[in-house]
Amino acid sequence: MRKVTGSWLSGPQAALDDSHSKFAGEKLGATEQGPGSIATLGRRVGALVIDWLIVMLPTYSMLGYDGRWFLGGASTTTLIIWALISVASVWAFSLTPGMAATGLAVARVDADSPVGLWRSCVRTLLTVCVFPALFQDEDLRGMHDRATGTAVVRSR
C-alpha cells in the first residue's frame, strides 16, 4: 500500500519512488555504521536530554523552581538559554554539548560545508516546536532536518 500512496512525510514523489535503501541515509551518501552514519532517535533524544540538563540545573538552582521574576519563569528562561546555546554551538561547531557527549554532529546533506547561521536558527526553532523533530522519514531525519537540508550523523 505504501508503494501506491507513499508517506505524507515523503511528499508527492514518494509514490513514484520504487528504490528502497538498504539502510537509513544511503540515498544521502551516509555510511551504514560508524562515523558518518545517520543517528538513531534514541541517541538524538539522549543528546537533547544532556543539553537540557546542562541548561536546566543551573537555571533552576539560581532562580528556584518558580523563578517568576525573570523572563516569565525558570521554564521559559531554560528554553531561551537552551535555544541560544543550540543556535550558537550548531552554527560554530556543528554540534551541541549533548551531541558532543553522545558522539553526534549536524551535517549538511547538500554540501560539504558548515551548517551556517540560518540553518541553525531554523533547526532550533522547529525543535522548540517538538513535533517536527519527532516525525522521521526513511532516512531517520526529522522534519526540522529535512526543512534545513541537514542530518544528524554519528561523529565517532
Instruction: Report pLDDT digits (tens) over 3-33.
Output: 433 454 555 455 455 566 677 767 777 777 7
Reference 44, options 113, 106, 111; nearest CA is: 106
- Measured in residues, the chain has a length of 156
Q: Which grid cell sits at 81?
A: 538559554
Residue 68 pLDDT grade (very low, low, confident, very high; cuts 50, 70, 90): low
Q: Which grid cell sits at 26?
A: 544511503
pTM for the predicted model, two decimal places: 0.77
Domain ranges of the chain: 37-154
- What is the four-CA torsion angle of 21, 43, 99, 73, rounded to 10 degrees? 130
pLDDT for position 71: 59
Residue of 27 and 1 predicted with greater confidence: 27
Instruction: Report pLDDT digits (tens) over 51-61.
Output: 999 998 888 88
pLDDT for position 17: 54
Instruction: Report pLDDT digits (tens) over 72-128.
Output: 677 888 899 999 999 999 999 999 999 999 999 999 988 888 999 999 999 999 999
